Amino acid sequence: MLKITRATDPALAELLDEELSRQEHNIEMIASESTAPLAVMELTGSVFTNKTLEGYPGKRFQAGSHIADKVEQLACERACELFGAEHANIQTYSGSTANYSVFASVLDPGDKILSMRLDQGGHLTHGSPANWMSKVYHYEFYAMDPETEQIDYDALEVQAREYQPKLIIAGASSYSRLIDYERIAKVAKEVGAYFMVDMAHIAGLVAAKIIPSPIPHADFVTSSTTKTFCGARSGMVFCKAEHAQALDKGTFPGAIGSIHLNTMAAKCWSFKYAATDEFRAIMEQVVKNAQCLAEELTSYGFRIVSGGTDNHLMVVDLREKGVTGKAFQDALDAVGITVNKNMIPFDPEKPGVTSGVRIGLTAVSQRGLKEPEIREIAHIMNCVAEAPEDETNLQECKQRAQELIAKFPLYPAGSFDD
């Protein structure tokens, strides 16, 4: 697969080999990661990369777009069918730009947005002071109930009535519970706000109908196509038919330029694949594995934020174990288990340190790991937490982790042979 790169740029080919080996030998548990199927790799590297096109099928700015039109139409039809949506726009480049295209569709500078607190699960593009959106719109944030560590819907409703936002955003980067879309949609309607759900993390589980869909309740639903969707590094947006024109205009020319036809083709393939029994079985196992890990870690004295998980991820409070998120992340990294430090709700630690880690089960479930292996991972994690600075302990843990993951190849043997 790397024949030409190997001949023309050995230094770069070597880095690719290193990364493939890292992924192969690591237990990958970053909640936003998944493994792209080989067809997605093939299509993202296909001749569709060469085509420049802007606009929509039948209304392109460039000639020679008739085949691209068929790809986009097929992809949109499949996307709408898969998610039961009235309209899909799949031109956006990622989950972040998907959000920007909705903002460009229905908001004016200075408009008010109500979204989830970023240190309790929200995303950068939902109003972080570090994100340029915060210079364009006014934000207010809703929070978790300190008791349940789940969205405080009563407080959200009060805030919505007082603040009168033009847009309410639900959806998160590190929230392990189902969201009551119906309830938020109701208050959005009452205050005259648009309701947008960012399902970037959970789109695969929604597509496979493992957890409830936001599509019937929201005006707009945005997403990445990586994460649980396991597809190309790209994005997608769905909306009610009444907003279709605004969304298309907000996306192009509102938020993006030319289409990435190669990733669009890969998304088209994924919309078909996500409707298969094979994909559904993986998504089912993702949730079973997540719940298994949450239970096992709890039995070792870790505390799972909100008490458990309904989806592919969990945030683990490490304070009882006497280790910070950063220290645990680094120690796990040393043994070949990849997670990320993460704030817990009302975290006393700084964002660079944190009291927690976020753990996701998508990539390991794709590789075929089931409950017995997840229990072994929980045990290794506990051994790491017990003595995160003990080199001998870490070496032993690393050996166990490597033996475990070696039985579950990342890709079928020979997939990347030259």
Ligand X SMILES: Cc1ncc(COP(=O)(O)O)c(C=O)c1O
- The residue sitting closest to ligand X, measured at its beta carbon, is 95
- At its nearest, how many Å lie between ligand X and the CB of residue 386? 31
Number of residues that bind ligand X (CB under 6 A): 14
Q: Does 89 bind ligand X (CB under 6 A)?
A: no
Q: Does 388 bind ligand X (CB under 6 A)?
A: no
Site for ligand X in 191-220 (CB under 6 A): 198, 200-201
Stretch that binds ligand X, among 40-48, 156-164, 170-178, 271-279 (CB under 6 A): 170-178
- At its nearest, how many Å lie between ligand X and the CB of residue 125? 6
Q: Does 173 bind ligand X (CB under 6 A)?
A: yes
Q: Does 125 bind ligand X (CB under 6 A)?
A: yes
Q: Tokens 């706000």 — which residue?
A: 193
CA distances from 303 to 320, 321, 335 (A): 8, 9, 22
Binding-site member from 96, 150, 270, 329 for ligand X (CB under 6 A): 96
- At its nearest, how many Å lie between ligand X and the CB of residue 235? 6
- At its nearest, how many Å lie between ligand X and the CB of residue 413? 30
Contacts 24+ apart (CB under 8 A), 319-328: 319/355, 321/385, 321/386, 323/385, 323/388, 324/349, 324/353, 324/354, 324/355, 325/349, 325/353, 325/354, 325/355, 325/356, 325/357, 326/352, 326/353, 326/354, 327/388, 328/357, 328/384, 328/385, 328/388
Query: Taking the CB of residue 124, how many other CB atoms lie within 10 A of it?
Result: 15
Binding-site member from 78, 87, 117, 123 for ligand X (CB under 6 A): 123
Q: 301: helix, coil or strand?
A: coil
Q: Does 171 bind ligand X (CB under 6 A)?
A: yes
The Cα angle at residue 222 between residues 188 and 37, in degrees rounded to 5: 155
Stretch that binds ligand X, among 156-164, 171-179, 292-300, 313-321 (CB under 6 A): 171-179
The residues, ordered by sequence, that sit 6+ positions from 216 with a Cβ below 8 Å of its Cβ are: 84, 181
- CB contact at 8 A, 207 and 49: no
Binding-site member from 27, 133, 172, 357 for ligand X (CB under 6 A): 172
Q: Does 32 bind ligand X (CB under 6 A)?
A: yes
93's tokens: 């480049």
List contacts with ligand X (CB under 6 A). Answer: 32, 94-96, 123, 125, 171-173, 198, 200-201, 224, 235
